[in-house]
Amino acid sequence: YSSKGAMMDNRFATALVIACVLSLISTIYMAASIGTDFWYEYRTLSPAENVSEAGRSIWDEFVSEEADEKTYTDALFRCNGTVGLWRRCITVPKNSHWYSPPETDMITNCISFSLSDQFMEKYVEPGNHNSGTDLNRTYLWRLQFLLPFVSLGLMCFGALIGLCACACRSLYPAIATGVLHFLAGLCTLGLVGCYVAGIKLLHKKLPLPDGVRGEFGWSFCLACVSAPLQFMAAALFIWAARTNRKEFTLLKAYRVA
């Protein structure tokens, strides 16, 4: 029976190792998606010509503290823009002047969303402060900012519980680790859903111009991949802890008998 118990221990250990690897990968993916600027990308046929026509005005309006949602979204449309959770970027000529011909030497410039930008109200008509608050887009935007940090926090807290479980030489606390990873997966899934819904609603208000194509970027894909990894890690943690506890209880009953 001892050899059978050793075999079961190896099985649980393997499940925990796989769960830890999945948890680590999902954490890396989640952190990378938060820190990069390619959640959504716009592709324009001739960004250099578009920018040269307006000179430096597009960039000046894009970086202005008074830039509203319509102003910077129009710049994203025209200048091969990319949007992340924290920053927005456009591609402009290295030296853009009204008297210069279109340049092929392009650079990408970015500006961060301030904390007030993250919680700013969205309007029914983007850029029109008198059109009233669009509650759906406002709360979707705020949730897509908060949920990734909640997800990372839950996974980090779950990792601390896992370390305590290792110190105590008990698998039972791994149930809590699994539950936290499951909640983190729900948060990540909610983040992805909020972002997709927010983009769709924005494009209903501000349709893509002719010659402009929009698509979700690789930062968004990392978040999409992170969610199922979190769910798989949660399932393995919970399975290993519950099954080990059940078999330990049966073993005690067998020895008493």
**Which uninterrupted H or E stretch holds 37?**
none
Q: Label residue 134 left, alpha or beta by phi (over 0 means left) and psi (-120 to 50 means alpha).
A: beta
Q: Nearest CA to 77 among 95, 64, 66, 91?
A: 91
Q: Nearest CA to 126 among 213, 50, 198?
A: 198
Block means of pLDDT (10 residues each) for the chain, 257 residues, are 46 84 94 94 71 61 78 87 91 61 68 86 87 91 94 92 72 83 96 95 91 93 96 91 58 43
pTM, entire model = 0.83
pLDDT digits (tens, 9 = 90+) for 13-67: 788 889 999 999 999 999 999 999 999 999 987 655 555 555 467 767 777 777 7
Q: Cβ–Cβ contacts within 10 Å for residue 189, how many?
A: 19
**Which uninterrupted H or E stretch holds 80?**
none
Domain residue limits, the chain: 1-256
Strand partners for 40: 83, 216
Domain 1-256 top-level CATH class: mainly alpha
